[in-house]
Amino acid sequence: MPSSRLFSSVVRSGVPPASVSRAFHSSSARRIVHHIKTAQDFQKAVSENDAVLVECFASWCGPCKAIAPVVTKLSEEASFKDKIHFVKLDTDELDTVAQQLGVRAMPTFFFFRGGKKVDELIGAQPPALLEGLKKLAA
Protein backbone atom coordinates (compact mmCIF):
# COMPACT_ATOMS: atom_id res chain seq x y z
CA MET A 1 0.00 0.00 0.00
CA PRO A 2 1.45 3.37 -0.95
CA SER A 3 -0.09 5.17 2.01
CA SER A 4 1.53 2.87 4.57
CA ARG A 5 4.96 3.32 2.94
CA LEU A 6 4.47 7.07 2.95
CA PHE A 7 3.44 7.03 6.59
CA SER A 8 6.38 4.83 7.60
CA SER A 9 8.84 7.11 5.80
CA VAL A 10 7.39 10.09 7.66
CA VAL A 11 7.64 8.27 10.99
CA ARG A 12 11.25 7.11 10.38
CA SER A 13 12.60 10.43 9.22
CA GLY A 14 10.42 12.70 11.32
CA VAL A 15 10.05 14.95 8.28
CA PRO A 16 7.18 14.61 5.83
CA PRO A 17 8.14 14.10 2.20
CA ALA A 18 7.74 17.02 -0.19
CA SER A 19 4.65 15.48 -1.72
CA VAL A 20 2.78 15.68 1.59
CA SER A 21 1.49 19.10 2.44
CA ARG A 22 -0.82 20.46 5.07
CA ALA A 23 -3.19 23.27 4.36
CA PHE A 24 -3.24 25.78 7.18
CA HIS A 25 -5.53 28.73 7.11
CA SER A 26 -4.65 31.96 8.73
CA SER A 27 -7.31 33.58 10.82
CA SER A 28 -7.53 37.17 11.87
CA ALA A 29 -6.01 38.00 15.24
CA ARG A 30 -9.39 39.43 16.22
CA ARG A 31 -11.05 36.04 15.86
CA ILE A 32 -9.49 34.50 18.94
CA VAL A 33 -9.48 35.06 22.65
CA HIS A 34 -6.04 36.32 23.67
CA HIS A 35 -4.50 35.00 26.89
CA ILE A 36 -2.96 37.73 29.03
CA LYS A 37 0.16 36.63 30.89
CA THR A 38 1.45 39.88 32.45
CA ALA A 39 0.09 43.11 33.90
CA GLN A 40 1.82 44.96 31.07
CA ASP A 41 0.02 42.80 28.49
CA PHE A 42 -3.27 43.64 30.20
CA GLN A 43 -2.57 47.38 30.15
CA LYS A 44 -1.51 47.18 26.51
CA ALA A 45 -4.64 45.24 25.48
CA VAL A 46 -6.97 47.68 27.21
CA SER A 47 -5.22 50.84 26.08
CA GLU A 48 -4.50 49.88 22.45
CA ASN A 49 -7.98 48.60 21.57
CA ASP A 50 -11.15 50.67 21.54
CA ALA A 51 -13.50 47.95 22.83
CA VAL A 52 -12.23 45.09 25.00
CA LEU A 53 -13.90 42.19 26.78
CA VAL A 54 -11.79 40.87 29.67
CA GLU A 55 -12.69 37.42 30.97
CA CYS A 56 -11.31 36.73 34.46
CA PHE A 57 -11.19 33.01 35.19
CA ALA A 58 -9.45 30.34 37.25
CA SER A 59 -8.32 26.95 35.99
CA TRP A 60 -10.19 25.18 38.81
CA CYS A 61 -13.49 27.03 38.20
CA GLY A 62 -16.25 24.84 36.73
CA PRO A 63 -18.46 27.70 35.45
CA CYS A 64 -15.35 29.26 33.85
CA LYS A 65 -14.71 26.05 31.93
CA ALA A 66 -18.36 25.88 30.90
CA ILE A 67 -18.52 29.40 29.45
CA ALA A 68 -15.08 29.42 27.76
CA PRO A 69 -16.37 27.83 24.51
CA VAL A 70 -19.25 30.30 24.46
CA VAL A 71 -16.82 33.22 24.67
CA THR A 72 -14.69 31.72 21.90
CA LYS A 73 -17.75 31.30 19.68
CA LEU A 74 -18.86 34.87 20.36
CA SER A 75 -15.38 36.15 19.44
CA GLU A 76 -15.85 34.58 16.00
CA GLU A 77 -19.26 36.14 15.30
CA ALA A 78 -19.30 38.70 12.51
CA SER A 79 -20.95 41.34 14.69
CA PHE A 80 -18.09 41.22 17.24
CA LYS A 81 -14.92 39.93 15.57
CA ASP A 82 -13.76 43.25 14.12
CA LYS A 83 -15.18 45.46 16.84
CA ILE A 84 -14.19 43.86 20.15
CA HIS A 85 -10.82 42.59 21.35
CA PHE A 86 -11.36 39.46 23.49
CA VAL A 87 -8.86 38.70 26.27
CA LYS A 88 -8.82 36.40 29.26
CA LEU A 89 -6.65 36.31 32.33
CA ASP A 90 -6.12 33.69 35.01
CA THR A 91 -6.80 35.31 38.38
CA ASP A 92 -4.39 32.93 40.11
CA GLU A 93 -1.53 33.93 37.79
CA LEU A 94 -2.34 37.66 37.74
CA ASP A 95 -3.74 38.19 41.21
CA THR A 96 -2.59 41.84 41.36
CA VAL A 97 -4.55 42.69 38.19
CA ALA A 98 -7.55 40.76 39.52
CA GLN A 99 -7.38 42.75 42.76
CA GLN A 100 -7.10 46.05 40.86
CA LEU A 101 -10.16 45.12 38.82
CA GLY A 102 -12.08 44.09 41.93
CA VAL A 103 -12.76 40.48 40.97
CA ARG A 104 -14.99 38.93 43.65
CA ALA A 105 -16.24 35.80 41.89
CA MET A 106 -15.52 33.83 38.76
CA PRO A 107 -15.98 34.11 35.98
CA THR A 108 -16.14 37.90 35.87
CA PHE A 109 -16.29 39.82 32.62
CA PHE A 110 -15.21 43.43 32.29
CA PHE A 111 -16.19 45.61 29.34
CA PHE A 112 -13.72 48.35 28.44
CA ARG A 113 -14.16 51.19 25.98
CA GLY A 114 -11.37 53.67 25.31
CA GLY A 115 -9.27 52.25 28.16
CA LYS A 116 -12.00 52.73 30.79
CA LYS A 117 -14.19 50.10 32.40
CA VAL A 118 -17.79 50.70 31.32
CA ASP A 119 -19.53 47.57 32.62
CA GLU A 120 -19.02 44.22 34.31
CA LEU A 121 -20.80 40.89 34.53
CA ILE A 122 -20.34 38.33 37.27
CA GLY A 123 -21.06 34.68 36.56
CA ALA A 124 -21.47 32.41 33.58
CA GLN A 125 -24.56 34.00 32.02
CA PRO A 126 -24.48 33.63 28.21
CA PRO A 127 -27.58 35.79 27.50
CA ALA A 128 -26.30 38.64 29.69
CA LEU A 129 -22.82 38.32 28.15
CA LEU A 130 -24.32 38.55 24.66
CA GLU A 131 -26.27 41.69 25.61
CA GLY A 132 -23.14 43.28 27.10
CA LEU A 133 -21.19 42.56 23.93
CA LYS A 134 -23.95 44.06 21.79
CA LYS A 135 -23.80 47.27 23.82
CA LEU A 136 -20.00 47.33 23.62
CA ALA A 137 -19.99 46.76 19.85
CA ALA A 138 -22.57 49.51 19.21
Catalytic residues: 61, 64
| Upper half-sphere CA count for residue 68 (Cβ side, 13 Å) | 17
Question: Roughly how many angstroms between the first and final C-alpha of the chain, as a whole number?
Answer: 58
With both helix axes pointing from N to C terminus, report the angle between 62-76 and 126-137 in degrees, rounded to the nearest 10: 40
Question: Rounded distance, CA 29 to CA 75, Å?
Answer: 10
Q: State the maximum Cα–Cα separation within the chain, in Å, rounded to a whole number.
A: 62
